[in-house]
Structure 1
């Protein structure tokens, strides 16, 4: 499963918001993600950081879950608003590291590798702390992320999406010295080829757990994928569920 997606910087979002779901919204993986989150949602409300076009939020709403969101791209939020039911989703436009909302939530989550779009350790730790302040007493914080070892082992381009009239390839460049990787996307569609790249700051399980601990959270469960498979030496990514310490 390819977790990383284009970060919602204004320039990228303005150009690719209309095609994001077609190119990067995998229905099969989305279904497993939605089912797992629905099981964790409790009585709600729930908050998605990086809600984007509503790939996960809208199916959760269809299950009767009260979903709120934060996103840094007005273009992506406009696309969400155009979808059935999207106009009624409460969304705050801003930096999701700040978690600039009120109230408490039974579940706060990110999907698709979004957590690593935060550019440095300070912003990632701040996100943990701000989420902890918004969790209900029995609430959980959940997100998926690549394993650094799997990132280092991956070589060659990956096909993100293909069809008769389009092809999307992803190639990653890893820099372990600064715990960063750059995803290059080559997109051929409508008779032309475009290229964009997005930077991510990755962290291993130990560092994530330490940031959680400093925010007053602790690991509750760690899965090998969104279907709840065991986390093992064969896993290429993980889904981590944090609760109040």
Structure 2
């Protein structure tokens, strides 16, 4: 986890928010908040890797009490510019081991962030951490991309995911270890040559939906729903991402 904490540094925190655009666009956030509010069902929620509060702040505004766990101190500092500790409490630490209380109705982990845990063992511990924080009958929601290995040409270990003026995203794969590295190349498109370009790399461990379900079972969860997105559309073999809802059993009488 040391490597991840270094990735989410002051520069990453300063550049993370894109108000009204990208993952901060209303058409992205509004259905996300609506689903999470419904699943919380009036109870408190815990966000793993709360970041700068992209989801937590509008969810709190929708009436849900939200607590967070976050590894990056710069990301917490950016969140604190928008919401104080009384409104959204945050525990600084690793989401696999940090404790933020218990009895939550909902734990959620969005935007592929479970893939930031780079081993299968850490990802399983993330599920167990969610189970420790939840009340009986509570649910754990994960938003995650489906590995796009079908796009890999024979003999090639990478794909160009985005190509636009000033920005290039290349994903490289190690299929034996289920490792993916996203390479973000940013440059001034008006300048010829490579000078002035900046590259950031984000390592991930990708997870197949069936493997994610097994991790859930190891922590005592059962799959309740799986959608292709926050609009609750049908998940199919062609879906590029999924929102999966796992639930703990209720206490027996």
Q: TM-score, normalised by structure 2?
A: 0.84
Residue-by-residue CA offset, 1:192-215 (whole Å, 9 max, x unaligned): 532110110111111111111111
Query: Are 1:73 and 2:72 an aligned pair?
Result: yes
Query: Are 1:29 and 2:33 an aligned pair?
Result: no
User: In the superposition, relative to structure 1, how do residues 75 and 122 fare at CA in structure 2: closer, same or farther (>3 Å)?
Assistant: same
More helix by share: 1
Contact conserved, 1:222 with 1:238, CA < 8 A, in 2? yes
Residue-by-residue CA offset, 1:130-168 (whole Å, 9 max, x unaligned): 2112111221000111112x2442732315xx8xxx844
User: In the superposition, relative to structure 1, how do residues 29 and 151 fare at CA in structure 2: closer, same or farther (>3 Å)?
Assistant: farther
Q: Secondary structure at the match of 1:225?
A: coil
CA distance in 2, matches of 1:144, 1:116: 10
The one of 214, 217, 227 aligned to 1:210: 214
The one of 223, 234, 237 aligned to 1:233: 237
The one of 5, 11, 15 aligned to 2:11: 15
Contact conserved, 2:8 with 2:74, CA < 8 A, in 1? no
Give the aligned partner of residue 3 of structure 1. Answer: none
Give the aligned partner of residue 116 of structure 1. Answer: 115
Q: Which runs of 4+ in 1 moved over 3 A?
A: 23-26, 166-169
What are the residue-to-residue correspondences of 1:149-228 with 2, within 5 Å? 150-153=148-151, 155-158=159-162, 167-188=166-187, 192-228=196-232
CA distance in 2, matches of 1:11, 1:156: 22
User: In the superposition, relative to structure 1, how do residues 147 and 196 fare at CA in structure 2: closer, same or farther (>3 Å)?
Assistant: same
User: In the superposition, relative to structure 1, how do residues 11 and 124 fare at CA in structure 2: closer, same or farther (>3 Å)?
Assistant: closer
> Structure 2: where are the runs of 5+ without partners?
153-158
Aligned length: 232
Shift of 1:188: 3.6
Residue-by-residue CA offset, 1:27-68 (whole Å, 9 max, x unaligned): 132222122111211122100001000000000011111000
Shift of 1:11: 4.7
User: In the superposition, relative to structure 1, how do residues 172 and 46 fare at CA in structure 2: closer, same or farther (>3 Å)?
Assistant: same
CA distance in 1, matches of 2:219, 2:8: 32
Q: Secondary structure at the match of 1:55?
A: coil
Give the aligned partner of residue 42 of structure 2. Answer: 43
CA distance in 2, matches of 1:127, 1:152: 28
User: In the superposition, relative to structure 1, how do residues 136 and 61 fare at CA in structure 2: closer, same or farther (>3 Å)?
Assistant: same
Select the structure of larger CA radius of gyration.
2
Aligned alpha-carbon RMSD (Å):
2.2
